[in-house]
């Protein structure tokens, strides 16, 4: 009975995987991200979670097909099995199924992207300029005057202040090459392009400090393009703007 051992082994492996998955469900929720942090991640998290679940289903199905073939169709003797050149229904199925998967993922992504990038001019309370420079960031606060510009360096990464619960509009540019403005915790990523101004509106919904970085390979010191995001109360944000004003006068 040569097929007995591998079958038991496959069942044992499947059992262990299922046990691990069920026991870890608490930590697996949201797959590494927190909910309620920002207006963007509240939109993105369901898509993120369902994409992982869809990937798990596709992965399990594929693994089952591979296991079935390798367990039940192992070489039993020296006889060459029936040789098949093609199987039209199978080939149509494995062309159409991935196309449907990609189309569904694309549609849900496009719907969420439209929600995230839709401007809400009446709700926006603040405007902040984000300029990528080789190799750091400049944060521009026009509310605090024309010269309210915070420039970071690799040795002294800048801090981006954001007011809690108030919608901010970012105007993103670059003065040299393509950079990627990325705040992982908030699930925000948008490119800084030379000669183009990109916009993103966003509300931070949790006080605290969060790391930010550049995620476009932009040159030798790309990895040093880090910054800190500090979400403060609206009153603290106003007093920060006042300190920026005071520095200029």
Task: Give min distance, CB of 88 to Cu ion, in A.
Answer: 49
CB 166 within 8 A of CB 125: yes
- Return the range that interacts with Cu ion (CB under 5 A); candidates 12-20, 85-93, 173-181, 205-213: 173-181
Determine which residue in the list 45, 190, 218, 241 makes contact with Cu ion, applying CB under 5 A. 218
**Residue with Cβ nearer Cu ion (214 or 229):** 214
Determine which residue in the list 160, 187, 225, 244 makes contact with Cu ion, applying CB under 5 A. 225
Task: Give min distance, CB of 154 to Cu ion, in A.
Answer: 11
Determine which residue in the list 179, 203, 210, 240 makes contact with Cu ion, applying CB under 5 A. 179
Task: Give min distance, CB of 12 to Cu ion, in A.
Answer: 48
CB 102 within 8 A of CB 58: no
Q: Which of 121, 164, 150 is nearest to 241 (CA)?
A: 150
- Return the range that interacts with Cu ion (CB under 5 A); candidates 21-29, 36-44, 112-120, 220-228: 220-228
Distance CA 125, CA 163 (A): 10
CB 83 within 8 A of CB 32: no
Sheet holding 188-192, edge to edge: 159-163, 226-232, 208-214, 179-183, 188-192
Distance CA 144, CA 121 (A): 20
CB 229 within 8 A of CB 209: yes
Distance CA 117, CA 189 (A): 12
Task: Give min distance, CB of 181 to Cu ion, in A.
Answer: 9
Determine which residue in the list 45, 187, 214, 232 makes contact with Cu ion, applying CB under 5 A. 214
How many other CB atoms are found less than 10 A from the CB of residue 157? Answer: 17
**Residue with Cβ nearer Cu ion (49 or 138):** 138
**Residue with Cβ nearer Cu ion (200 or 225):** 225
Task: Give min distance, CB of 186 to Cu ion, in A.
Answer: 18
Task: Give min distance, CB of 219 to Cu ion, in A.
Answer: 7
- Return the range that interacts with Cu ion (CB under 5 A); candidates 33-41, 121-129, 155-163, 210-218: 210-218
Distance CA 141, CA 242 (A): 11
Interaction site with Cu ion (CB under 5 A): 179, 214, 218, 225
């Amino acid at each position: 009975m040569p097929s007995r051992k591998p079958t038991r082994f496959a069942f044992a492996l499947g059992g262990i995987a299922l046990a691990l998955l069920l026991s870890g469900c608490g930590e697996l929720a949201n797959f590494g991200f927190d909910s309620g942090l920002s207006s963007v991640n509240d939109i993105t998290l369901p898509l993120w979670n369902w994409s992982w679940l869809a990937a798990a289903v596709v992965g399990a199905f594929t693994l089952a097909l591979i296991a079935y073939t390798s367990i039940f169709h192992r070489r039993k003797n020296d006889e060459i099995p029936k040789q098949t050149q093609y199987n039209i229904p199978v080939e149509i199925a494995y062309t159409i199924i991935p196309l449907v998967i990609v189309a569904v993922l694309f549609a849900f992504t496009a719907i969420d992207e439209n929600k995230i990038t839709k401007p809400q001019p009446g709700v926006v309370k603040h405007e902040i300029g984000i300029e990528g420079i080789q190799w750091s960031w400049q944060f521009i606060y026009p509310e605090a005057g024309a010269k309210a510009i915070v420039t970071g360096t690799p040795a002294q990464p800048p801090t981006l202040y954001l007011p809690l619960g108030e919608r901010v509009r970012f105007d993103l540019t670059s003065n040299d090459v393509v950079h990627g403005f990325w705040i992982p915790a908030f699930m925000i990523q948008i490119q800084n392009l030379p000669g183009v101004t990109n916009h993103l509106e966003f509300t931070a919904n949790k006080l605290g400090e969060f790391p930010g970085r550049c995620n476009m390979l932009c040159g030798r010191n790309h990895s040093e393009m880090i910054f800190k995001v500090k979400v403060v109360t609206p009153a603290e944000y106003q007093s920060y703007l006042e300190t920026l004003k005071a520095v200029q006068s």
